[in-house]
Every structure is written in structure tokens, then in C-alpha cells.
A and B are shown apart, each in its own frame.
Chain A
Amino acid sequence: MAEQIVTANRLNDGIVVYFAGDARWVADINEARLCPAGKDAGEALLAEAKTGSYQATAVDPYLMDVVRDAEGRLEPTKYREKIRTLGPSVRLDLGKQVWGPKGHAA
């Protein structure tokens, strides 16, 4: 079953970020805050992400669907979001796909 998280691009460099709760935006999808079950919960999470000074960090937040893979890691359901989590599929040397764990450049 798909669950939802909130994503955006980071203001300073455009890097894809995810809302982790408590006004934090993180580069690693696995640290994203999962939407609790329930109707309208996604909208509530998005509203929470859009509070305070989010504008100084995150550009145009929106909800996206994720599922868990066999190892329990979060994976986007749409290929657009898959590409956003990784980087260009035609330049495997660029984007997040070359980052090490924890979202630092390898």
C-alpha cells in the first residue's frame, strides 16, 4: 500500500528534499516523515510542512506516494519521483545517485 510523504526542492541549490517533521527538510528520503493513516492526513502533513519559515528552505512542497521495498526502505511509486530521488538516468555520475548514505557526496 502506498503511503505519502512531502517533497520539495531546496531553495539554495534546488536539491530534492523531504519533510522530516519539526520544520526539518532532509535530502535522504528514508528520513522523511510518513503520513499517518487516515483520510485528509496527507493534506494535514502538507499543511504542517508549509508552516513557519519553510519558504526559506523548501520550494513548492507537494505530496508524493512511496512504498517500502524488501529491505524496508522507502521508494517512490512514480518514475518521475524515482528519477528525482536518484538524478538523471542518463548521467549516473551526477545527482543523488552518487551520494553516499546520509545524503553526503560520496
Chain B
Amino acid sequence: MYRYDEFDRTLVLERARQFRNQVARRQSGEITEDQFKPLRLMNGVYLQLHAYMLRINIPYGTLSSRQMRTLAHVARTYDKGYGHFTTRQNIQYNWPTLEEIPEILEVLAEAEMHGIQSSGNCIRNVTADQYGGVVAEEVEDPRVWSELVRQWSTLHPEFSFLPRKFKIAVTGSPSDRAAVKVHDIGLRAHKNAEGKIGFEIIVGGGLGRTPYIGKTIAEFMPAEHLLSYLEAILRVYNRYGRRDNKYKARIKILVDDIGIEEYRRQADEEWESLKDGALTVPQEEVERIRAYFAPPAYETLPARDSGYEAKLFEDAEFRAWAKVAITAHRQPGYAIVDISLKPIGGIPGDASADQMDALADLADEYSLSELRVAHEQNLVLPNVRQSDLYALWQKLKAHDLATANIGLISDVIACPGMDYCALATARSIPVAQRLSKHFASLEKQHDIGRLHVNISGCINACAHHHVGHIGILGVDKRGEEFYQITIGGRADEFAKLGDRVGPAVSYDRVIDAIDVIVNTYLKLRQPGEKFIATVERLGIGPFKEAFAEENLDAAA
């Protein structure tokens, strides 16, 4: 698995040392908060409602068991015994003291992790499909290209002061798990008729205040031209992106303003001078990076394990879990296992230090020492032998990590919201918890089937509420928490923004509102039809009507 090369290690340790010095100068009063703030943000240090928050990158969501142990150690030693996995494949610590953060950064640097570039108007950490390199349907390993893009963008002199932050996501599979259509740039690797690898390049997607689904600027950009074309896209943005208004500064606004054809024309023009130049991706470089991501030492196994299949037959509880938690692996006899960080009534994405340690041990025992972080705020053991699944499941259960709700209504994506976040307008976690408790019955959840609920505590949309099958946005209405509800959004390869079903509802009524939506679906669905399919077939009308009938916006 990938390890930093020497350049990065020196850089990261150097940055931790610099930050120690900056903290000391801030504490002594030598520099003011205004001077210090950009420095701490560059190191992933935010000030939240109750304390500082430290955000650590997990590039393309890949973690070794050793790194997971380091994360557990940090949670236990410097924080309050837990960490929060976010929708950007990061981990956040909610209680570090400023004094101790430089030391934490050094500890993390030893395990090749850092918070650099997790903030600021630069190219942020590149995200990739969490199943990169292991999923059966994959065309190309997205991590190789994410890494190439990361190396190109890290401390890129021209793009350190973009009009606004810039997020890139990469997938190499037909099913999009990386939400590439709602990123500033999304890359989808695919093959052309000759079997050559290239990229569909999607630009101008994004959520937040003005959500857009990205538009395709290139259907098939041959792999060797990827960086030069990205450079061309970024140059156009850097030149014309609006620096005068931070709400209009993202690339999505520029793409919308001038239109995708014009954007393409300008990027192509810029590309003239870049094409076949220094940014042409050498095949050797791709192979060098690919070697880092070489598959681990898999055993040769039969495609189907009879012991596993027998257990599926015998044990209904195991079967229910396996149905949602397991995805087909490209290596015969292996499976990808999703681990829910959404116990019923729990805080989405939170994991205790003990759970992190347990997962590191389980990764060593069952997953060739590897873990992944999914943007759904869940974790993944990517390399489990089918014959080990039953034993693994039993151990996960003992650590409260085997809730059989992956992809179901209680697998809620929720941002920290007003419980922690200084920018929030309303709470999101308690809404997720109430929802999860309301639909606690796994039988009921499995009957409802695949249904993604996303809850953001403000318009910044960290929980991607616009693309939730059911999206919930917390707003402040005359000093009270209210929630706007949309349905029909989706973040996959058919990405779409949801539509409002009615006026915002109060904190007390929000679960009733979800109940109305779910019941309307259950009443109207055809046999086997998923929630999103029913909404797409019938439109939002019947849901709006049901919503209006219940008078959900009336004062409770």
C-alpha cells in the first residue's frame, strides 16, 4: 500500500515543527489571531463552539492498521476518547488544546498523516472511491490517479491562492461512490473502444448555497493528458473565477455563468500551449505509483466459499448483515466489508478509541492490515476472505460495529451541526439520532430498502443534503431550529438535486415529516421498487400532497 516518499515526510515533519513555533508566538502575544488564523487553518486547526477541532486527511480514504492505531492513540491521549469520520474521508478531533496540537501533528506525521491543505483556497485533499483497487466492477484503480493529482496539486505554486477552495474526486468504476458530479472537478476513469484508459472530466459541480450538478467538459481525455488538461481548467478558473464575492467564487458559478461550451473553448485554448509539454504523464510515473498500490498478497481461493454460504443459510441475523454490508471483491474468495458507524441512536461517524483499536486488530487479522474510510461516514475492511466473514461479524458485533443498516434509512449522513460547528444554524446529530431510533427495527428498515438520508446543519452542506434521497437542511427561523426537507436527490452516477416537499418543519415535527414521506413511498411503490425509483416515477407531487395534508409546518 502507498507510503509517502521522502520528500513528503520531510515536508510534513517540517510543517509540524513550524506550527509549534507559530503556536508559541501566538501564545506569547507576538502575533494576533488575525495573523495566526490562516496559519492554523493551513494545518487543519479550526475553532469550533466548545474547543479547537483538528482535521486530519486520509488520502483517498486508505488507512493502514498502524495508522488506525495512531488515530486511536491520539483520540485517547490528546482528545476525549473518540474521533469523528467526516463526509470528506477525514477524521476530526473535537477537543484538542492548542498547546498540544503541534505534538499531535508530530505523532501523526510519524504515521504519515497530516492536516496540511485541509483548508484554504487551494486544491484540497483528493477523494476517491473507497473501494478503489478491490471492487469487482472496477475499470481502473482511482487511487493511482488520485495520487498523481495529489502530487501535482500539493503546494502547486500557481494554485495555492485560487479564488476559492477546490475539491477533486476520482472514481474508476461504473457505479459512482465518490460523488464526482458534485465536486469542483470529478474524474471518472473508463476505457475507450481500443481498451485505452482515459477520463471523463466533469467540472463545476458543487453543493452549498448554490448547488450544481457538474457538467462534462471532456468525455474521454487520454490518461497521459490528464494533468495538462486539469492545469488548463484550473488556469481558466484562476483567471476568471470571482474573487470579489466569496459566495460566487467557486468554479461552479463560473461554469454556470459562461456555460460549459465556452468554458471548454477557453480550456482547450489554454491547453494548446500545455498539451504534450512538461505535464504529460509519463507511463513510468504511473507505473511507479501503481506499484505502491499493488494488490496485497491474496491467497488463491475458490470464488465461493461453501462455509460462508452455509452460514448465510443458517443464520438470519448474519444474512441480514451480509446483505447490506458485503460487496463483491475482484479477487475470488474475498469480500469487501462495510462497517457501520451508525449504531441505532448513535452519532453518525463517531468511533471511540477502543473501536479504532479493535478495527486495527481486525484489519490485521482479517483484512491484510488495511482499512478504508467511506464518505458515508462508515469504515471498510477491504480484503476479507469469505471464509472469515462469519467470525469477523461476531467480533464486530462485540464492538457494536455490526449494525446491519448500510445504505438503509438509519445509515444517516449527518454533519456535526450546531452541537460542535461554529458555522451551524441548527443541530443535525440529534435529528439523525431520533430518526435512527424511530426506524430502529432492522426488519422495517430492510423492508423500506435503500434510502439515503443526509442532514446538514447549515447551507454549507457538508452532509450533502441536496443529493440525499431525503435531504434535511437545518435553518434558523426566528431563533428556532427548523428543517427544510428535499427528496429525490442522489449522489451517484445519476446525480440529481432534490426538490423541496414543503415548508420547513420544526425540530419537533421533523421525524413526523420523514415518516410521512416514507409512508407515502410504502403506499405507492411497486413490488421491488426502491425509494428513489418511486420518486422518479411519480415525481414529487404525491409526496407534496401528503406533506401538505399533515400540516407539518403548523406550529406544533
B75-126 residues with Cβ-Cβ distance < 8 A to A are 80, 95, 97-99
Q: How far is the CB of B84 from chain A (nearest CB, A)?
A: 11
A11 contact set on B, CB distance < 8 A:
26-27, 98
Stretch at the interface among A18-26, A29-37, A66-74, A86-94: A86-94
B479 contact set on A, CB distance < 8 A:
77-79
B480 contact set on A, CB distance < 8 A:
79
B29 contact set on A, CB distance < 8 A:
53, 55-56
| Highest count of chain B CB atoms <10 Å: which of A16, A78, A94 | A94
B318 contact set on A, CB distance < 8 A:
none
A89 with B50: CB separation less than 8 A: no
A13 contact set on B, CB distance < 8 A:
51-52, 97-99
A56 contact set on B, CB distance < 8 A:
27-29
Q: A84-B50, A89-B430 are in contact. Are A12 and B99 (CB under 8 A)?
A: yes
- Whether A43 is near chain B, meaning CB under 8 Å from some CB there, is no
A88 with B50: CB separation less than 8 A: yes
Nearest opposing residue in chain B for A53, CB measure: B29
- Whether B548 is near chain A, meaning CB under 8 Å from some CB there, is no
B430 contact set on A, CB distance < 8 A:
89-90
B433 with A90: CB separation less than 8 A: yes
- Whether A104 is near chain B, meaning CB under 8 Å from some CB there, is no
- Whether A63 is near chain B, meaning CB under 8 Å from some CB there, is no
- Whether A83 is near chain B, meaning CB under 8 Å from some CB there, is yes
A12 with B27: CB separation less than 8 A: yes
User: Digit string of A41-71 for contact with B (CB within 8 Å is 1, else 0)?
Assistant: 0000000000001011001100000000000
A78 contact set on B, CB distance < 8 A:
479
A59 with B33: CB separation less than 8 A: yes
- Whether B419 is near chain A, meaning CB under 8 Å from some CB there, is yes
A95 with B50: CB separation less than 8 A: yes
B50 with A12: CB separation less than 8 A: no
Main secondary structure of the interface of A (DSSP, over half): loop
A14 with B27: CB separation less than 8 A: no
- Whether B39 is near chain A, meaning CB under 8 Å from some CB there, is no
A16 contact set on B, CB distance < 8 A:
49-50
Q: How far is the CB of A4 from chain B (nearest CB, A)?
A: 16
B433 contact set on A, CB distance < 8 A:
90
Q: How far is the CB of B54 from chain A (nearest CB, A)?
A: 11
From the candidates B47, B80, B429, name the one contacting A9 in the complex (CB within 8 A). B47
B419 contact set on A, CB distance < 8 A:
83, 88-91
B48 contact set on A, CB distance < 8 A:
14
Bound together, the chains give a CA A94 to CA B80 distance in angstroms of: 8
Tally A residues with Cβ within 8 Å of B: 26
Bound together, the chains give a CA A11 to CA B45 distance in angstroms of: 13
- Whether B481 is near chain A, meaning CB under 8 Å from some CB there, is yes
| Highest count of chain A CB atoms <10 Å: which of B32, B52, B347 | B52
A80 with B98: CB separation less than 8 A: no
Bound together, the chains give a CA A60 to CA B418 distance in angstroms of: 18
Q: How far is the CB of A77 from chain B (nearest CB, A)?
A: 7
B33 contact set on A, CB distance < 8 A:
55, 59-60
Bound together, the chains give a CA A16 to CA B481 distance in angstroms of: 22
Bound together, the chains give a CA A89 to CA B479 distance in angstroms of: 17
B429 with A14: CB separation less than 8 A: no
Bound together, the chains give a CA A99 to CA B460 distance in angstroms of: 32
A53 contact set on B, CB distance < 8 A:
29
Q: How far is the CB of B219 from chain A (nearest CB, A)?
A: 45
- Whether B420 is near chain A, meaning CB under 8 Å from some CB there, is yes
| Highest count of chain B CB atoms <10 Å: which of A53, A60, A80, A96 | A80
Q: A59-B33, A90-B430 are in contact. Are A79 and B420 (CB under 8 A)?
A: no
B347 with A90: CB separation less than 8 A: yes
Bound together, the chains give a CA A33 to CA B99 distance in angstroms of: 28
| Highest count of chain B CB atoms <10 Å: which of A59, A77, A96 | A59
- Whether B465 is near chain A, meaning CB under 8 Å from some CB there, is no
Bound together, the chains give a CA A89 to CA B419 distance in angstroms of: 6
From the candidates A15, A55, A83, name the one contacting B51 in the complex (CB within 8 A). A15
Q: How far is the CB of A46 from chain B (nearest CB, A)?
A: 15
Bound together, the chains give a CA A46 to CA B429 distance in angstroms of: 33
Nearest opposing residue in chain A for B346, CB measure: A90
- Whether B427 is near chain A, meaning CB under 8 Å from some CB there, is yes
Bound together, the chains give a CA A95 to CA B420 distance in angstroms of: 11
Bound together, the chains give a CA A53 to CA B28 distance in angstroms of: 10
Bound together, the chains give a CA A100 to CA B24 distance in angstroms of: 31
Q: How far is the CB of A51 from chain B (nearest CB, A)?
A: 14
Bound together, the chains give a CA A96 to CA B52 distance in angstroms of: 15
Bound together, the chains give a CA A80 to CA B27 distance in angstroms of: 27
A12 with B481: CB separation less than 8 A: no
Q: How far is the CB of B417 from chain A (nearest CB, A)?
A: 9
A15 contact set on B, CB distance < 8 A:
50-51
Nearest opposing residue in chain B for A9, CB measure: B47
B98 contact set on A, CB distance < 8 A:
11-14
B50 with A79: CB separation less than 8 A: no
Q: How far is the CB of A83 from chain B (nearest CB, A)?
A: 6
A89 with B427: CB separation less than 8 A: yes
Bound together, the chains give a CA A38 to CA B347 distance in angstroms of: 44
Bound together, the chains give a CA A53 to CA B30 distance in angstroms of: 11
Q: A89-B430, A90-B347, A90-B430 are in contact. Are A12 and B418 (CB under 8 A)?
A: no
Task: Please report B residues at the A interface, Cβ cutoff 8 Å.
Answer: 26-29, 32-33, 47-52, 80, 95, 97-99, 347, 418-420, 424, 427, 429-430, 433, 479-481
**27 contacts across the A-B interface (CB closer than 8 A):** A11-B26, A12-B27, A12-B98, A12-B99, A13-B98, A14-B48, A14-B97, A14-B98, A16-B49, A56-B27, A56-B29, A60-B33, A77-B479, A79-B418, A79-B481, A80-B49, A80-B418, A83-B419, A87-B50, A88-B420, A89-B419, A89-B427, A90-B347, A90-B427, A94-B50, A94-B80, A94-B95
4 extra interchain contacts, Cβ-Cβ under 8 A, other than A11-B27, A15-B50, A80-B424? A56-B29, A79-B481, A80-B418, A84-B50
The 4 A-B residue pairs whose C-beta atoms are closest, nearest first, are A14-B51, A88-B419, A13-B97, A14-B52
